[in-house]
Amino acid sequence: MIGYDQAIEIKMQRLFRTLSEKDKRRYAGIEATKLGHGGIDYISKLFDIDPKTVRRGLQELDLADDPASERVRKKRWGPETRD
């Protein structure tokens, strides 16, 4: 069985909520890579994101340069972003 302890998952989810859209994809990609087989599905469920988003993060991590390094959306404030 792949995965992390529940206490670690909670911390990962808290961190994930604070990241920009681009950083969320990349963080999800890194975590999925660390887990290996089944990692994309596990991480997409943990962060409640589409597996395609995790795959896109993986692709972005493979790029030598970030073509959109200056583009970051402003964070929306709503119930899902507050602790």
Tell me what pLDDT residue 2 has.
Answer: 82
With a cut of 70, list the residues of the chain below it in pLDDT: 1, 66-83
Tell me what pLDDT residue 29 has.
Answer: 97
Structural contact between residues 20 and 72, judged by C-beta atoms closer than 8 angstroms: yes
Structural contact between residues 71 and 45, judged by C-beta atoms closer than 8 angstroms: no
Tell me what pLDDT residue 80 has.
Answer: 60
Tell me what pLDDT residue 64 has.
Answer: 73
Tell me what pLDDT residue 67 has.
Answer: 57
Q: What are phi and psi of 82, to 5 degrees?
A: -100, 150
